[in-house]
A = this chain, B = another copy of it.
Amino acid sequence: MTALPPSAKAMVPFVSVDNMMRLVHRVGIETMLRELTDRIEEDFRRWESFDKTPRIASHSRDGVIELMPTSDGTIYGCKYVNGHPKNVASGLQTVTAFGLLAEVASGYPVLLTEMTLLTALRTAATSAMAARYLAPKGARTMAMIGNGAQAEFQALAMKAVIGIEAVRLYDIDPAATEKTRRNLQGSGLSVTACGTAQAAVEGAEIITTCTADKQFATILTDNMVGRGVHLNAIGGDCPGKTELHRDILLRADTFVEYPPQTWIEGEIQQMDKDYPITELWRVVTGQAPGRRDPTQITLFDSVGFAIEDFSALRYLRERIAGTDLYQNLDMIADPDEPRDLFGMLQRAAD
Give A106 to B85 CA distance when docked, in angstroms. Answer: 9
Q: Are A106 and B78 in contact (CB under 8 A)?
A: no
Q: Are B183 and A104 in contact (CB under 8 A)?
A: no
Find A346's partner among B9, B51, B116, B183 (CB 8 Å cutoff). B183
Give A25 to B345 CA distance when docked, in angstroms. Answer: 9
Q: Chain B contacts of A83 at CB under 8 A?
A: 107
A320-350 to B contact mask, C-beta < 8 Å, 1/0: 0000000001111111011111111110110
Q: Are B116 and A333 in contact (CB under 8 A)?
A: yes
A102-B82, A342-B153 in contact; A179/B337 too (CB < 8 A)? yes
Distance in Å: Cβ of A179 to nearest Cβ of chain B: 6
Is A30 in the interface zone, CB < 8 Å from B? no
Q: Chain B contacts of A116 at CB under 8 A?
A: 332-333, 341
A17-B6, A107-B65, A109-B80 in contact; A348/B25 too (CB < 8 A)? yes
Stretch at the interface among A88-96, A216-224, A250-258, A289-297: A88-96
Is A198 in the interface zone, CB < 8 Å from B? no
Q: Are A67 and B69 in contact (CB under 8 A)?
A: yes
Is A170 in the interface zone, CB < 8 Å from B? no
Q: Are A329 and B108 in contact (CB under 8 A)?
A: no
Q: Chain B contacts of A345 at CB under 8 A?
A: 21, 24, 29, 117
Nearest B residue (CB) for A147:
B339
A53, A63, A80 pick with most chain B CB within 10 angstroms? A80
Q: Are B106 and A183 in contact (CB under 8 A)?
A: no
Is A10 in the interface zone, CB < 8 Å from B? yes
Is A18 in the interface zone, CB < 8 Å from B? yes
Is A172 in the interface zone, CB < 8 Å from B? no
Q: Are B87 and A100 in contact (CB under 8 A)?
A: no
Is A193 in the interface zone, CB < 8 Å from B? no
Nearest B residue (CB) for A105:
B62
Give A93 to B337 CA distance when docked, in angstroms. Answer: 9
Is A27 in the interface zone, CB < 8 Å from B? no
Other A-B contacts than A51-B58, A65-B71, 11 sampled, CB-CB below 8 A, are A9-B91, A17-B334, A53-B56, A58-B69, A65-B76, A67-B78, A84-B105, A92-B106, A94-B338, A149-B338, A176-B339
- Residue pairs across A and B with Cβ atoms less than 8 A apart, 29 shown, are A16-B329, A17-B331, A17-B333, A21-B344, A25-B348, A53-B56, A56-B67, A60-B71, A60-B104, A62-B105, A63-B106, A65-B102, A65-B107, A80-B102, A87-B338, A90-B106, A91-B338, A96-B332, A114-B331, A117-B333, A117-B341, A120-B342, A147-B339, A150-B341, A179-B337, A179-B343, A182-B343, A183-B346, A329-B329
Q: Considering the complex of A and B, which 9 residue pairs feature the smallest CB-CB distances, nearest first? A: A82-B107, A152-B342, A116-B333, A149-B341, A16-B330, A21-B348, A148-B339, A84-B107, A17-B333
